[in-house]
Structure 1
Amino acid sequence: MNTAATHSDPAQLRAWLHGAAHRDRAAFRALYDASSPRLYGLALRILGRRELAEEVLQESFVAIWHHAVDYESALSAPMTWMTTIVRNRAFDLLRRARHDGEADAADSHAMESLVDMAATPAERLQMSSEAQALADCMAALEEKHREVVGMAFFHDLSHSDVAEKLTLPLGTVKTWIRRSLARLHACLSARGAA
């Protein structure tokens, strides 16, 4: 199957992510081949420099490999999930640069740009409605639960890292994440977004 032709097929991307979750290197390679040009384009638009976009893309695919098992198809489409990882990595890099005094006005503008301009209008609308539904459901969670889910899934931290950063027992973090994911799933299902 031509991976370029299936880059936007959510079912195929889901299958490759499932394969990656089970450490299938061929599935991960197919996922990379199909999605990396678009994800690289997003990173390049945010960062404006090829070497930084390549660095973010590499870090993002390492994260995708390690967290494919955590992917929840009920919460987002595969491309939306991977785009979020790339976008967050790119923004983290910009924040670090800003903190180190290297940011410029273009970086500030990029930080506020959350729309993937390579997406078709229909894809943007779907991502927008999915993102809004997720944001609304996230807002319904208790503050600490929202924080642990955000750290684990949007900042790509392990459960142990979250526990350490928040000085919470690992078991508490795992329980909060498990319960929060169940609540998010129920909320998204009720809204028809799952």
Structure 2
Amino acid sequence: MTGKTVRDETYVALNAQLSKRLSDCANGDRTAFTEIYQLTSGKFTAILMKMMRDEAACADIMQKAYLSIWKNANRYDPAKGKAFTWMLVIMRNRALDALRARTRYRETETLSGSIIDTLEDDSLSPIEGTQAWMIRRLLAPYLSQLDPDVARAVQLSTMEGMSAREIGETLDVPTNTAKSWVRRGLMRIRKDLEQSDDAMSLYDLL
């Protein structure tokens, strides 16, 4: 059995557990909520620390997010998505709220690589810029392993939402070349993720 197979099976098992526990939470089962916390808190802490770089902020976000999960457990529908992903969206939304608040009070400051640099393009709304910055933070270690042109193509696709034609125009290459670079880069990143603890946190970004 390969490492990838083991990870896939672990992810499936985790989602099955979380789905059952969320159903129990919807019926007011506090023990099930405790189990959800035990199953996921370590993973969410790692994800949020990469986004926030601030332990106190992460703790505050997690407290609010888990409270929201408890209150809204009855809204989770396993037919519409995986339990971990549903919870991750709540965590991300809380992180976005915190980052928006931070940028309002630190408009001229940089933040570990400059969130302001991400927001300086007037075509990006604060939310879009923050989301791009979050993705950049998570993908940076993997992009650095790619050929520079390929990495830039992936950035333009995943962070700025450009089409293959727009990427080709930006990088001055044929559309098919841009499309090939994006495909090659994403395939390499996915392969690297299979060997990384970041696999779950980036599972739905690529």
Structure 1 alignment gaps of length 5 or more:
1-5, 130-194
Residue 23 and residue 37 in structure 1: after superposition, are their counterparts in 2 closer, same or farther (change >3 A)? same
* Further displaced range: 77-86 or 96-105: 96-105
Which AA in structure 2 matches 1:56?
Answer: I
Residue 114 and residue 20 in structure 1: after superposition, are their counterparts in 2 closer, same or farther (change >3 A)? farther
* Partner residue of 1:98 out of 76, 96, 103: 103
The residue aligned with 1:25 is 30
Cα RMSD (Å) of the superposition?
2.8
Per-residue CA deviation, residues 47-90 of structure 1 (Å, 9 max, x unaligned), is: 10000000001000000000111112122211111111111101
The residue aligned with 1:89 is 94
The residue aligned with 1:120 is 199
Contact 1:44 1:50 in 2 (8 A): yes
Offset at residue 124 of structure 1 (A): 4.1
Which AA in structure 2 matches 1:72?
Answer: D
User: Alignment partner of 1:84: what SS?
Assistant: helix
Residue 52 and residue 81 in structure 1: after superposition, are their counterparts in 2 closer, same or farther (change >3 A)? same
Offset at residue 26 of structure 1 (A): 0.5
Is residue 45 from structure 1 mapped to residue 66 from structure 2 by the alignment?
A: no
Structure 2 alignment gaps of length 5 or more:
1-9, 119-129, 140-196
Per-residue CA deviation, residues 77-120 of structure 1 (Å, 9 max, x unaligned), is: 11111111111101110101111226624362664223867442
The residue aligned with 1:70 is 75
What is the CA–CA distance in structure 2 between the aligned matches of 1:58 and 1:48, rounded to whole Å? Answer: 17
What is the CA–CA distance in structure 1 between the aligned matches of 2:44 and 2:102, rounded to whole Å? Answer: 21
User: Alignment partner of 1:46: what SS?
Assistant: helix
Which AA in structure 2 matches 1:23?
Answer: G
The residue aligned with 2:40 is 35
TM-score when normalising by structure 1:
0.55
Identity %: 25
What is the CA–CA distance in structure 2 between the aligned matches of 1:98 and 1:124, rounded to whole Å? Answer: 24
Which AA in structure 2 matches 1:16?
Answer: R
